[in-house]
């Protein structure tokens, strides 16, 4: 279903100010089909604000966001997820703590299986079959992410890294076209970093998911991303392959002098 040169996500002139501070200043960004794009920059460079403005969690002051050609600039977070199948994670990992891993994933898939809010109130046979389908899909993703042994434990009792995997598996439930990850490797142990990288690669290659990843770990960016964009003080500083970006003098100054 590739449609020539139309990007998955195309953002133009995105700007967001908080009082006198311009957190994001006229940033353009596009993600191609099947691409894993890295977004890096020092703390406070506007990466998270940029993320929030492009996913409907915050409203940009100006600029446009379009998803596969349709304008989604003022869509709400839930509509972007539901109708756009563009999902995002949060920097601080969030899961439904009291529910087990499988329930977490079933919830993640529900709005993509039921056609309307009203239909989710049904307990009829059709509804039960839909949920059964979701459970089956959830179990596959639980195996894929290696969460099998803890599938029926409350998510809140698992380690930070395991919770990241739950969050990631949840985003894969709806057969997404684009996933935006906010620091997926922050604070997890090195063994799990490998697993997360493998899963991202698998989703990208086998499921055709495109990615935008905010990441501080430059090794992760180098190994995953084909292209990276550097933000500094709300502006796009440079753009290129990870190697080019690392070699860039301005980038080094921004990180060291910032």
> Residues interacting with another protein, by CB under 8 A?
55, 57, 76-79, 81-82, 87-90, 94-100, 103, 106-108, 110-112, 114, 117, 120-123, 127, 130-131, 152-154, 170, 174
CB of 75 vs another protein, minimal distance in Å: 11
* Residue whose C-alpha is closest to residue 37's, from 29, 45, 27, 49: 29
Residue 89 falls in which region: left (phi positive, over 0), alpha (psi -120 to 50) or beta: beta
Which residues contact residue 12 at a Cβ distance below 8 angstroms, ignoring those fewer than 6 apart? Answer: 28, 63, 64, 66
Exposed, middle or buried: residue 164 (CB in 10 Å: 0-12, 13-18, 19+)?
A: buried
| Structure tokens that stand for 151 in this block | 């599938």
Residue 215 pairs with which residues in a beta bridge?
A: none
CB of 218 vs another protein, minimal distance in Å: 27
Nearer to another protein, 57 or 192 (CB): 57
CB of 107 vs another protein, minimal distance in Å: 5
CB of 106 vs another protein, minimal distance in Å: 7
Whose structure tokens read 């992410």?
Answer: 145
Nearer to another protein, 184 or 242 (CB): 184
Nearer to another protein, 103 or 239 (CB): 103
Nearer to another protein, 76 or 159 (CB): 76
Nearer to another protein, 104 or 234 (CB): 104
CB of 57 vs another protein, minimal distance in Å: 8
């Amino acid at each position: 279903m590739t449609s020539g040169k139309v990007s998955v996500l195309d953002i133009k002139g995105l700007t967001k100010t908080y009082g006198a501070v311009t957190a994001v200043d006229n940033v353009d960004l596009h993600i191609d089909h099947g691409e894993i794009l890295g977004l890096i920059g020092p703390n406070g460079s506007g990466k998270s604000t940029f993320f929030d403005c492009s996913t409907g969690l915050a409203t940009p002051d100006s600029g446009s966001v379009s998803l596969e050609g349709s304008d989604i600039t003022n869509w709400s977070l839930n509509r972007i997820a539901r109708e756009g199948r563009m999902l995002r994670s949060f920097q601080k990992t969030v899961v439904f703590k009291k529910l087990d891993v499988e329930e977490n994933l079933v919830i993640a898939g529900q709005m993509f299986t039921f056609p309307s809010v009203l239909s989710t109130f049904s307990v009829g046979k059709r509804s039960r079959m839909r949920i059964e389908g979701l459970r089956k899909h959830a179990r596959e993703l639980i195996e894929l992410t290696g969460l099998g042994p803890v599938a029926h434990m409350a998510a809140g009792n698992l380690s930070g890294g395991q919770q990241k995997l739950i969050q990631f598996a949840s985003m894969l439930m709806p057969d997404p076209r684009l996933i935006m990850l906010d620091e997926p490797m922050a604070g997890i142990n090195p063994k799990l970093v490998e697993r997360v990288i493998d899963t991202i690669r698998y989703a990208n290659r086998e499921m055709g998911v495109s990615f935008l990843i905010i990441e501080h770990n430059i090794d992760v960016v180098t190994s995953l991303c084909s292209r990276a964009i550097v933000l500094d003080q709300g502006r796009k500083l440079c753009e290129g392959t990870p190697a080019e970006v690392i070699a860039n003098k301005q980038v080094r100054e921004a990180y060291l002098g910032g």
